[in-house]
Amino acid sequence: MGVSTGVEKKGFAAKALRGIGCGLLIAAMAACSTSSKSAAPVSVNQALQDYLNGNVSLAKSEFQGIVKADPTNKYGWYNLGVIAQGAGQTSTAANDYLLAIKADPTFESPLYNLGVLRFQSNQIPDAITYLTRATVANPKDANAHWNLGLALIRPATLADNKRATKELNLALKLNPALINTLNVPKKKPAPTAGGTGPGGSGGAGAAAKKASTTTSKAP
């Protein structure tokens, strides 16, 4: 099965597979668009608006100014991560997401996007860690549960099919459309999580071989 985005909701970089994704840039709430101790020339909301207007270079510079003035501004770091991920700079994006998470360990969007990045780079244990934290931060995020389920099936020696089945079924309950990420002919029934697949393998594992991941979230 695949991993989903946040914009599609969140997710990996724009080119990420469906199911794991990179999210949209996130604006700070009006009350906290900039930290009281921040001397940033513009607010997070203004930088986001510049990004949405297509001025990516300007927005990047503005977000850099925001985090320079206030290194604890989670929105600044997260949005820089999204911009870097969109440019294919995955190492930089991962570092920016880590700084956003450091500022707020329960900030779901960077947790999700970082989990997707780790999944895509085949760093499965880390992917499971961050996607698990994302589902704790937002239990109703279908994409996070979906991608976590896929990650749990991946390790040949550490696969947890029981937990994977639970996560995949929960994701489908929250968003039935995720079943469409399975490359299964429409005239044939899709594999059922928890069933027995070829060679005695679990249904979830069999399905994962044909599933695609969802993308990251945006600001």
**Cβ pair 5, 143 in contact under 8 A:** yes
Tally of domains within the chain: 1
pLDDT, position 117: 96
At residue 31's C-alpha, the angle toward residues 95 and 68, to 5°, is 35
What CATH number is associated with residue 77?
Answer: 1.25.40.10
pLDDT, position 30: 36
In the chain, which stretches have pLDDT less than 70?
A: 1-41, 157, 182-215, 218-219
Domain that holds residue 49: 3-218
Residue 10: CA atoms inside 13 Å, Cβ hemisphere, count?
Answer: 27
pLDDT, position 150: 93
pLDDT, position 160: 86
At residue 138's C-alpha, the angle toward residues 133 and 142, to 5°, is 100
pTM for this one?
0.73
pLDDT, position 140: 96
Q: What torsion, rounded to 10 degrees, do the Cα atoms 26, 32, 37, 38 define?
A: 30
pLDDT, position 42: 86
- For the stretch 10-46, pLDDT in tens is 432 222 233 444 556 666 543 333 444 444 468 999 9
How far is CA 134 from each of CA 8, 98, 182, rounded to the nearest angstrom? 16, 13, 23
- One DSSP character per residue, the chain reads --EE-BTTTEES-TTSPTEEEEEE--PPPGGGSS-TT---SS-HHHHHHHHHTT-HHHHHHHHHHHHHH-TT-HHHHHHHHHHHHHTT-HHHHHHHHHHHHHH-TT-HHHHHHHHHHHHHTT-HHHHHHHHHHHHHH-TT-HHHHHHHHHHHH--TTT--HHHHHHHHHHHHHH-GGGGGGB---TTSPPPPTTSB-GGG-BHHHHHHTTB----EEE-
User: Which region holds residue 14: left if phi is over 0, alpha if psi is between -120 and 50, else beta?
Assistant: alpha
